[in-house]
Structure 1
Amino acid sequence: MTVESWGTTYWGGPGATGGTWWPVGKHVVEHGRLKQVLALSARHHARQAIELFATDDQDGLTQAAVSAGCAVELLAKAFLASVEPGLLAEKGDRDTILILSGNANLASARIAEMKTVGALEALKIAKHLHPSLSFNLQSDQVVLRVRNSAAHMGMVLPDELRAAVAVMCRLVEGLLAALLLERDKYWGDHAIGVVDEILDVAKSEVRRIVAAKIAVAERRFAGLVSGLDAAGRAVVLSALSRRDPYTTADHNEPYQCPACKQQGWLVCHVDEGQPEIGYDDDGTQYSFAPRTAYPFFFECPVCELELEEEELAELDYPMEIELDPNSDPYSNYEPDEDWVRGR
């Protein structure tokens, strides 16, 4: 699938009336093609960032920095729009919701005055909807920081820009998969080879970081048990391995540490599916909701090894873990107050 396959017809504007029509230069497209408008702009910026990030020209570097951040934000928003355009509204803004729901004729604000979520929030929502998206809240914000520095102050640090472009490539790749778009057609013939090289270098760097972290943890573990007899070693390791992880999360899955071979923890976000109906052998009906855990961090309470999400893939950790279903999916349901008062 390509971005163009989402629609190729353009209407003359601003003559189109009723509902929501998205302006694209001198023309407009219908409400349902918002994801296309966003993805096309994201594609332009992604290609421009690849073309310019290695230049020696200051203006080119500044544009590459701006484009790297815009490419990520716009494609994340294209994904949100593909799920539900209303997800783009900031803090439930009334006019924005009306416009995004296809009712711009009922809004008092113009389309250009919409209040939408920022880049970081869009990425957080995209990660929630598509948990396999490799987005690290701490380290990946470099792509937005570089964009903001260039856009607001005209400043670019080449090393940070290169890191930002690598993050852009990884996030764009994940969002393309979520949108079922062909990566070769999206990047284009001139950029795809560069993107592949950037991703390979980034993977090699992650591999080196993981190896270094494990080596440090192994030395730390050797020092911890040095001089202990078998009984003392067993007592120390048993006490340490029972500690809970420091990181707060929905679920902690026990998993062997690659450095010290003791029990560590996969720290996970849990996604609960829609409630379903099942039946016991005797025909009794019950409700349940499937649950899936998505690891984003690893902690070992013994050797203190810590691995972030993109580093877990280097060690073949599971990216999805099926959990026992929620047997009472309606326990937190609260009826609408207006509905209750109206009874």
Structure 2
Amino acid sequence: MLALSARHHARQAIELFANDDQDGLTQAAVSAGCAVELLAKAFIASVEHALLAERGDRDTILILTGNANLTTARIAEMKTVGALEALKLAKYLHPPLPFNVQSDQVVLRARNSAAHMGIVLPDELRAAVAVMCRLVDGLLAALSLKRNEYWGSHALKVVDEILDIAKSEVRRIVAAKVSAAERRFAGLVSGLDAAGRAVVLAALSRRSPYTIADHNEPQECPACEQQGWLICHVDEGQPEVEYDDDGNQYSFAPRTAYPSAFECPVCELELEEEELAEFDYPMEIELEPNRDPYLNYEPDEDWFRDR
């Protein structure tokens, strides 16, 4: 049911996103986001239905695991994970999924803007549809579903064209950026002997990135081969508990960094969001867990109500 509903929305988004009619554009934006969320949930359900429950909601877990007779809650009252959490979970279960937590949220932003305010920005809608096509293709592979049967012959041609245009545009921009950075680097070290070159590069490579972020991960620059930085947003998971051999309890929260940009302090190369995919950069980085997760942790209202 989830996959079939996602297919309906995916095809509708492809049919309507180039429409001149405002209602058609609004529906395209809504459908693009729904297609991604529903197909991500379809993949999660293929692994374990209970993973769809929001914050381990008991009634939802009972319904999803075939024990609806043990709860008075109705199916329509289930509390499931949101779209962004569904995509993060799908990425965790299937690491090859081409989901970037920063740049790909445009598909959800466009849906929410259309659904809640009736606002559709043409540039953002086109970007959202391109993200939808890429994520749907990745989820189809994870579900072992055939692209031609899912999209249909007419929509598949449009999808392939959208993906080709998106890739070509990104590659063109990246090539221009790298070329400019290489020229800056050549000018920087021109006329320096080996010793002078080493001193200059060492001084520059120690500089911190300009952008303030949750985490900066060192990575080699593709233009000058010096150390640059991946600029990352850090997502901290729910606190967990573990016990040592003596039975002592310790709490921790897993932390994952998601790169959204790259900066090189030497040649000044800057890459953004989808441009990172042109290089062999990690799309997510596991960090040391927070060993004191309850220091600033505030449970939501559901947490208090359940107790």
TM range (shorter): 0.7 to 0.9
Q: Is the 8 A contact 1:134 1:309 kept in 2?
A: no
1:214 deviation in Å? 1.1
1:232 deviation in Å? 1.6
Counterpart position of 2:14: 50
Whether 1:168 and 2:140 are equivalent positions in the alignment is: no
Distance 1:202 1:195 in 2: 11
Q: Deviations over 1:74-98 (max 9, x none)?
A: 0111111111112211112111111
1:109 deviation in Å? 1.1
Distance 2:37 2:207 in 1: 39
Q: CA-atom RMSD, angstroms?
A: 3.1
1:239 deviation in Å? 4.0
Counterpart position of 1:291: none
1:224 deviation in Å? 3.8
1:181 deviation in Å? 0.9
User: Under a length normalisation based on structure 1, what TM-score does the superposition of the two structures give?
Assistant: 0.67
1:145 deviation in Å? 1.1
Q: Is the 8 A contact 2:113 2:119 kept in 1?
A: yes
Whether 1:145 and 2:119 are equivalent positions in the alignment is: no
Whether 1:77 and 2:41 are equivalent positions in the alignment is: yes
Distance 1:267 1:85 in 2: 34
1:144 deviation in Å? 0.9
The one of 197, 208, 223 aligned to 1:259: 223
Distance 2:188 2:275 in 1: 25
Helix, strand or coil for the counterpart of 1:102?
coil
Tell me the amino acid that sits aligned with residue 163 of structure 1: A
The one of 46, 49, 62 aligned to 1:98: 62
Counterpart position of 1:184: 148
Tell me the amino acid that sits aligned with residue 124 of structure 2: E
Distance 1:92 1:159 in 2: 38
Q: Is the 8 A contact 1:150 1:156 kept in 2?
A: yes
Stretches of structure 2 that go unaligned for 5 or more consecutive residues are: 235-257, 284-307
Q: Is the 8 A contact 2:217 2:230 kept in 1?
A: yes
The one of 114, 128, 134 aligned to 2:92: 128
User: Under a length normalisation based on structure 2, what TM-score does the superposition of the two structures give?
Assistant: 0.74
Identity %: 81
Whether 1:113 and 2:77 are equivalent positions in the alignment is: yes
Counterpart position of 1:63: 27
Q: Is the 8 A contact 1:252 1:266 kept in 2?
A: yes
Change (3 A) 1:138 1:46: same
Tell me the amino acid that sits aligned with residue 108 of structure 2: L
Whether 1:86 and 2:50 are equivalent positions in the alignment is: yes
The one of 173, 181, 185 aligned to 1:217: 181
Helix, strand or coil for the counterpart of 1:91?
helix
1:46 deviation in Å? 0.1
Is the deviation greater in 144-153 or in 233-242? 233-242
Tell me the amino acid that sits aligned with residue 126 of structure 1: A
Distance 2:201 2:272 in 1: 24
Helix, strand or coil for the counterpart of 2:161?
helix
1:205 deviation in Å? 1.1
Change (3 A) 1:297 1:86: farther
Tell me the amino acid that sits aligned with residue 83 of structure 2: A
Q: Deviations over 1:66-120 (max 9, x none)?
A: 1001000101111111111122111121111111222111122111001111111
Change (3 A) 1:56 1:254: closer
Distance 1:159 1:313 in 2: 21
Distance 2:222 2:184 in 1: 13
Change (3 A) 1:90 1:240: same
Stretches of structure 1 that go unaligned for 5 or more consecutive residues are: 1-36, 270-293, 321-343
Distance 1:197 1:67 in 2: 19
